[in-house]
Amino acid sequence: MAELTESGVVDAVGKELFIGGKWVPSSTGRTFAVEDPATGRVLCEVADATPEDGKAALDAAVAAQADWAKTAPRERSEILRRAYELLNARVDELALLMTLEMGKPLAEAKGEVAYAAEFFRWFSEEAVRIDGGYQVAPNGAGRFLVTKQPVGPCLLITPWNFPMAMGGRKIGPAIAAGCTMVIKPAEQTPLSMLALAAILTEAGLPAGVLNVVTTSDPGGVMEPMIKDGRARKLSFTGSTAVGRKLLEQCADKVLRTSMELGGNAPFLVFDDADLDAAVEGAMQAKMRNIGEACTAANRFYVQRGVADEFARRLTERMSALPLGRGTEPGVVVGPLIDADAVNKVTELVADATSRGAKVLTGGATVDGPGNFYQATVLTDVPRDARMASEEIFGPVAPISVFDDEDEAVAAANDTEYGLVSYVYTNDLKRALRVSESLEAGMIGLNQGIVSNPAAPFGGVKQSGLGREGGTVGIDEFLETKYIAVSL
């Protein structure tokens, strides 16, 4: 393979809209810039879609739906399998592309490409396992046939923090189920999705099944499609605030929705926990993706007996993390996505310290270009600090102390969110009690990472609707049809 260069991987990606199997410019010819968050340098310009372009993309998806729904499940499966193999074969260039536009270190970017590929492998296997049912009516006079069919054209919206994995998590089950789609990647990180569209085309995906619109005006482009009436489903990953607006728009046509929204994950450490494992899990849960993850540990509640030692060990680990551009060898802490993200983290830390929190390490921005913030540990964080109720989305670990189990569970559940919670304890009975009491869709029990394509991902309360991944992930893209048969 030729030596990878930054300009080479950027130049290799299509910069236009991908509609009906073709690369086309915006109807106005306008473009918008994609920047490297580590340097502020413009990487390239991509097509800036208009509402008319969105309509053209939906037209293409609608036109392709009937034929795609009739495609044999095995054929859909093989397309996904080939895409899985292509992603793994090109992990190096795809990871570099992702690091350039999003900032995460190369090692993490490679991990994300592999993670995205796993969704294609998982749903390639699920495509041929869509089942139904045959049942004798209770009165014996007839039969019930139950079948599952693709829901129809889908609208998919993905976030900037996992630009390829979140695409794979939505595109995989849609293809497996027989749905066509229009996908809008985040304007900060469109290149990974454009590269993924090219790979799926190479894998044999027919024209019109996947359409990609990049735009600097997501609301203006997506709302007309949502209210068009021909799309039958919306799948969104992003903030709760935007999710609420999209739900209102979907109500107009009663669009089926699945949403993975914000998180405010508590990380509970009990006195009987294995502290080595708890600190390692804390590093994973907090620093994966530079803390820019909805599953990131946002609130650390540590029982008083081990609080000082946990804080000491976590501070030691966090203070040793190399910070820099994600392309540099050994870097663990890359830049945040943009200046707004840095400002948000800065405000949250300032608020906590003004209320009595102490900075054990970090707590400041970094001089020079790029959107960098130091890996930070805070202790004595009061429950009324803003970061107790707002997502930090950055490399900051705030620690609070608790005395008993009931207090810990109450503090953990004191949030409108309910995506994931983490629990560290060696007491089996406590582990089960606490896991069942926590108001979250996922629990990390003595482990700091819960995401897995083979498991159902999703939250409760204002963290979302529906599940992605696992055996239930494909159901979000299927309708159940019942046929009553008279004998």
Q: Give domain limits for the chain.
A: 6-261+464-486, 265-445
Q: pLDDT band at 3, cuts 50/70/90?
A: confident
Full-model pTM: 0.96
Mean of pLDDT values over 69-82: 98
Q: Which of 152, 233, 149 is nearest to 468 (CA)?
A: 233
pLDDT > 90 fraction of the chain, expressed in percent and rounded: 99
User: Quick check: 412 pLDDT over 80?
Assistant: yes
Mean of pLDDT values over 237-266: 97
CA angle 309, 313, 315 (to 5 degrees): 115
Hey, is 177 helix, strand or coil?
helix
- Annotated active-site residue 260? The verdict is yes
Domain 6-261+464-486 classification at class level: alpha beta
Q: Which of 190, 197, 169 is nearest to 259 (CA)?
A: 169
Mean of pLDDT values over 251-280: 97
pLDDT at position 1 is 42
Q: pLDDT band at 2, cuts 50/70/90?
A: low
User: Quick check: 97 pLDDT over 90?
Assistant: yes
User: Quick check: 273 pLDDT over 50?
Assistant: yes
Q: What is the mean pLDDT of the chain?
A: 97
CA angle 450, 455, 461 (to 5 degrees): 70
Could you tell me the two tokens for 329? Answer: 């060898």
Cα(52)–Cα(139) distance, integer angstroms: 54
Enumerate the β-bridge partners of residue 257: 234
CATH topology of domain 265-445: Aldehyde Dehydrogenase; Chain A, domain 2 (3.40.309)
Q: pLDDT band at 429, cuts 50/70/90?
A: very high
395 vs 132, 386, 388, 476, CA distance in Å?
46, 16, 15, 33
User: Quick check: 36 pLDDT over 60?
Assistant: yes
pLDDT > 70 fraction of the chain, expressed in percent and rounded: 100
pLDDT at position 468 is 97
Q: Which of 70, 105, 263, 88 is nearest to 180 (CA)?
A: 70
Query: pLDDT digits over 314-333, tens only?
Result: 999 999 999 999 999 999 99
User: Quick check: 118 pLDDT over 50?
Assistant: yes
Among 108, 118, 126, 260, which one carries the catalytic annotation? Answer: 260
